[in-house]
Chains A and B, each alone.
Chain A
Amino acid sequence: DAGVIQSTRHEVTEMGQEVTLRCKPISGHDYLFWYRQTMMRGLELLIYFNNNVPIDDSGMPEDRFSAKMPNASFSTLKIQPSEPRDSAVYFCASSKQGGGQAFFGQGTRLTVV
């Protein structure tokens, strides 16, 4: 298996622009997680899905953030409009079952200038 795929490793965008991060989970995994990592706050859970349904989005910082999972093999995290404080590494992870090990993608380093 190729693992969790986040095809974009680095994303640079200007303040005010829309940015969309993409993730392909491991096939057969029912849970998908979006995390954000910064030096100050560590690894924060933003939202997670079970069987493509958003279960808990309490970690999404603001209405500027939204996430979708239109099918079992694809998820997006969108920030609109982006701000410099959104600069971070965004990780997608998936797990086969609730309570099971989460496998991480390579992460997307977002820089908002």
Chain B
Amino acid sequence: QKEVEQNSGPLSVPEGAIASLNCTYSDRGSQSFFWYRQYSGKSPELIMSIYSNGDKEDGRFTAQLNKASQYVSLLIRDSQPSDSATYLCAVGTYKYIFGTGTRLKVLA
């Protein structure tokens, strides 16, 4: 299978700080890129989708895509303890390959 790589973490940031999550992928033909959040024992839920190079902002979240570098990132501004979860990067066109996720801890 095509690969999607993420640092497993944990990534610890203080409350109010910016959390930066990164993902690289191997399939240059991929057209769709997603960030999902997964709380322990729960199912993944979509945070952001991005389809073209550049930045996309939604509230406290910004997704960044660089297809030339095969790199997608997620920035979380003003991090809150409730943001503590595992963040999964998903990449594909018709089918989606997930990274193993980065565990984020926001410290109060």
* Residues on A facing B (Cβ under 8 Å): 31, 33, 35, 41-45, 48, 50, 55-56, 58-59, 91, 98-107
What are 13 A-B residue pairs whose CB atoms fall within 8 Å in the complex?
A33-B96, A35-B98, A42-B99, A42-B100, A43-B44, A43-B88, A45-B96, A55-B94, A55-B95, A59-B1, A98-B93, A102-B90, A103-B46
Nearest-Cβ distance from residue A90 to partner chain B, whole angstroms: 11
**Is B97 engaged at the interface, CB distance under 8 Å to the other chain?**
yes
State in angstroms the CA–CA spacing of A44 and B42 once bound together.
16
On whether A42 and B34 interact (CB within 8 A), knowing A58-B1, A98-B93, the answer reads no
**Is B57 engaged at the interface, CB distance under 8 Å to the other chain?**
no
* Residues on B facing A (Cβ under 8 Å): 1, 31-32, 34, 42-46, 49, 51, 88, 90, 92-101
B98 near A43 with CB under 8 A, answer yes
With a 10 A CB-CB cut-off, give which of A56, A59, A101, A107 has the most chain B CB atoms.
A101
Contact partners of B42 in chain A: CB under 8 A: 106
State in angstroms the CA–CA spacing of A48 and B95 once bound together.
7
A45 near B95 with CB under 8 A, answer yes
A99 near B31 with CB under 8 A, answer yes
A45 near B93 with CB under 8 A, answer no
B94 near A31 with CB under 8 A, answer yes
Inter-chain pairs besides A45-B96, A102-B34, A103-B46, 18 sampled, C-beta below 8 Å: A31-B94, A33-B95, A42-B101, A44-B98, A45-B1, A45-B95, A45-B97, A55-B94, A59-B1, A98-B94, A99-B92, A99-B94, A101-B46, A101-B49, A102-B46, A102-B96, A104-B43, A106-B42
